[in-house]
Amino acid sequence: MFRVSKKLASNNKIAIIGAGIVGVSTAIWLQRDGFDVVLLDREGPAAGTSFGNGGVLASSAIVPVNAPGLSTSAPAMIFNPNSPLFIRWSYLPKMLPWFMQFLRRANVTDAGNAAKALAAILYDSLEQHQALAEGTGAERWLKASDYLFVYKDRTGFEKEKYSWSLRKDLGFEWDELEGETVDQHEPMFQGTRKFAIRLKNHGHITDPGQYVKTLASHFTENGGELVLAEAEDFVLENNRLKGIKTSDGMLECDKVVISAGVWSKTLAAKLGLKVTMESERGYHIELFNPSIMPRSPMMLVSGKFVITPMEGRIRCAGIVEFGGLDLPASRAPFELLKRQIHETIPGLTYDHVEEWMGHRPTPSDSIPLIGSIPKVSGAYAAFGHHHIGLTAGPKTGRMIADMIVGRKSNIDLAPYKVSRFTH
């Protein structure tokens, strides 16, 4: 179990704000480099999106939500009760500035640039997770697997020609399953789906919350500190970081990494960084003790959500809803998930259902912020991973550690530069 520290002062300390997969990964890589590291989180490891994500190491998830055509398709999707896009109308005025920039990026050039940036941090996600988890005890939840994109028929696949051509151009390969071969590969469909794409060299986590908590326990057992408090502000001296003002007092540190998901926007603003970022509210339902268990994780394309086999349950996670941080969960996304899972898997039974809603941090250009924060010496950003946080967490942490140590990266870091939001 975690060793929670009350120690808030130390020399040569690096503080990581946010104990989700990105923050915990960063903490472990820095610890392995010999640094004195403290994890700061108001609730503890995996209390947010790292608990409720779809659990897929989706290396092929390189196509941004704001792909070409979104500006014309979004209105029809919003008013279709079977569409995976929802909006809380009372929140629309607050999100409109971000949304206009988000839609402005829905063109071939910007989407292509985003896809290239995402591919660079996603393509080897399974290997990155294996390297991070080795020797931590978290390996038990990490599984190599295929990843299916499942369609009702080939027509649905052909409508996504742009997305698949983008993946092909960036080096992804796949097998096509059609007709009876779909049921042979995944018998649970019973003829409800006639076409699927099979991507190899992917993986999934059979309990994302426990996975991140086990990694965090490994971190504290090896001398890392976990402080349960809320980061409120920063202490600077001549534009150099000196510490963090927390709800439990002053935490002295020489460097800070902001990796608090959607809440990073407010913290970054205190350091002069105005990020155009919004919460994409994501939903999941879990079906416990199901009568049928999928062989591998899959994307049900018609509903834009994943179906993932987990320990003792199936998790159905996805949906996009815009409604901010404060409004309660909506019923419609949960009901859509239930309708589509029963339509896809006839005869499925289970003991009970559990529901969850969380927040994906989505920058207007769909590219995470990974790097130093301008004008503040010792401050770094590692947030904005929208749908790819679990997949890219270990590599993001390794990238930040490389920057702090001074190791040269084999990745072009320009697309992730924080300075793109300073103009």
CATH number of the structural domain spanning residue 384? 3.50.50.60
Where does 159-224 have alpha helices with state H?
161-169, 180-185, 208-221
User: What pLDDT, on the 0 to 100 scale, is given for residue 3?
Assistant: 52
Q: In this structure, what token pair is assigned to residue 241?
A: 């970081």
Q: State the Cα–Cα distance between residues 400 and 288, nearest whole angstrom.
A: 38
Residue 218 lies in a domain: yes
Query: Is residue 313 scored above 60 in pLDDT?
Result: yes
- Phi–psi pair at 6, nearest 5 degrees: -105, 0
Do 172 and 84 lie in a common domain?
yes
Those residues with Cβ within 8 angstroms of residue 124's Cβ, 6 or more apart along the chain or in another chain? 59, 395
Look-up: residue for tokens 């920057």?
403
Could you tell me if 357 and 372 lie in one domain? no
Q: Are residues 352 and 380 in the same domain?
A: no
Mean pLDDT value of segment 296-310: 93
For residues 19 and 164, membership in a common domain is answered with no
Q: Is residue 7 part of a domain?
A: no
pLDDT for residue 321: 94
As a whole number, mean pLDDT of residues 371-399 equals 97
Q: Once rounded to an integer, what is the mean pLDDT over residues 46-63?
A: 96
Q: What is the DSSP string of 272-309?
A: T----EEEEEEEEEEEES-SS--SS-EEETTTTEEEEE
Q: Which residues contact 180 (CB under 8 A, 6 or more apart)?
A: none
Q: 178 pLDDT exceeds 70?
A: yes
Q: Both 214 and 265 in a single domain?
A: yes
Which 3 state secondary structure label does DSSP give 318? Answer: strand
> What pLDDT score was predicted for residue 10?
46
- Residue 9 is predicted with a pLDDT of 42
Domain containing 250 equals 13-50+210-276+365-421
pLDDT-derived band at 75 (thresholds 50, 70, 90) equals confident
DSSP SS3 for 122:
helix
370 vs 373: CA distance, rounded Å: 9
Tell me what the mean pLDDT of segment 297-326 comes to. Answer: 94
The last residue of one of the domains, among 344, 363, 382, is 363
Does 251 share its domain with 384?
A: yes
Alpha carbon distances (Å) from 327 to 96, 206, 358: 17, 29, 11
pLDDT at residue 288, as a whole number = 98
Q: Could you tell me the CATH number of the domain that includes residue 300?
A: 3.30.9.10
Judge if 185 and 240 occupy the same domain: no
Where does 189-272 have alpha helices with state H? 208-221, 264-269
- Residue 132 is assigned to a structural domain of this protein: no
Note the pLDDT of residue 8: 42
State whether 175 and 301 are in the same domain: yes
CB atoms within 10 A of CB 145: 21
Q: Are residues 42 and 181 in the same domain?
A: no
* Whole-number average pLDDT of the chain: 94
| Share of residues in the chain with pLDDT > 90 (%) | 88
